[in-house]
Amino acid sequence: MFWFYNVINTLTIGLIGFSMPAGPARNRMVLYLAIGALLWNFLSILFQEVSTSVQWERWEGTIEYSFMAPIRRVTYLGGVCAWAVLYGLVRTVVILIAVAFFFHINLAGADLAGAAMVLVASSVPFIGLGLVAAVLPLLSTERGAQATQVIQGVLLLVSGVYYPVRVLPEWIRWAAVLSPATYTLDAVRKALLSGASVTSLFGVSLGLLASGVVLIPLGLGIFTLAERHAMRTGSLKRNG
């Protein structure tokens, strides 16, 4: 059901472009919006899935059993992240097929390899952000999930998902610089709309990977600290 909603949502956003007069500009706008919707779908799954897993385990009370298992936390979280990437890719491909079928998208001038490279590189910092967000439901089952939604909402607002970052009010535009999604969306659009090559997108991809190299250990570190806090205060338990 949720997949169906995602497909319809992406198509609805793409259809906004049809309010423009017919021609190349309209086709470009439709693709611009569809790329935004598709990428946001993928990146938000990476961001959300890790924290949802922790939240679900806390909700059901199984987290004590998972944390009592003789595996390192990095292994546990690595498994959750691998699932998030796989799930995100499959869901995005399904939506992509629906979008391509519905809008008859022509990607003749697009550099798909460049877009794929950026997408893979952007997974790394988003997993790092997901790990940071996963701390919130670890600290508080109910409020943690709400806080995750707030962070996700801010990223949606400032990253230029459906509009260029330059249209943001000046007082908030600085936040776009901090979001890995800004660079991902910009680079993927360059690849798909303007045919930017792998070589020209190499720098952005490297930057995204570098931010991931910072964000993943940061996320793991914060998660470990939060787990220790929970083990001191007894907040892991659901009942009993």
Pairwise CA distance, residues 71 & 66, whole Å = 9
* Selected binder of another protein within 12, 20, 60, 194 (CB under 8 A): 60
Residues 208, 129 contacting (CB under 8 angstroms):
no
CA dist., res. 6 & res. 34, Å (int): 12
Give whichever of 128 and 137 is closer to another protein, judged by the CB atom: 137
Q: Is 65 left (phi over 0), alpha (psi -120 to 50) or beta?
A: alpha
- Per CB under 8 A, the list member of 25, 71, 178, 214 interacting with another protein is 71
Report the nearest approach of another protein to the CB of residue 228 (Å): 7
Task: Kindly tell me which residue out of 67, 87, 162, 202 binds another protein, with binding defined by CB under 8 A.
Answer: 67
Q: Site map for another protein, 17-56, x if CB under 8 A?
A: ---------------------------------------x
Q: Does 231 bind another protein (CB under 8 A)?
A: yes
Binding another protein (rule: CB under 8 A), the pick from 18, 76, 87, 162 is: 76
Query: Helix or strand or coil: residue 31?
Result: helix
Helices then strands, counting H and E runs in the chain, come out as 9, 0
Burial of 216 (0-12, 13-18, 19+ CB in 10 A): buried
Stretch touching another protein by CB under 8 A, among 59-67, 114-122, 128-136, 188-196: 59-67
Footprint of another protein on this chain (CB under 8 A)?
A: 56, 60-62, 64-72, 76, 228, 231-234, 236-240
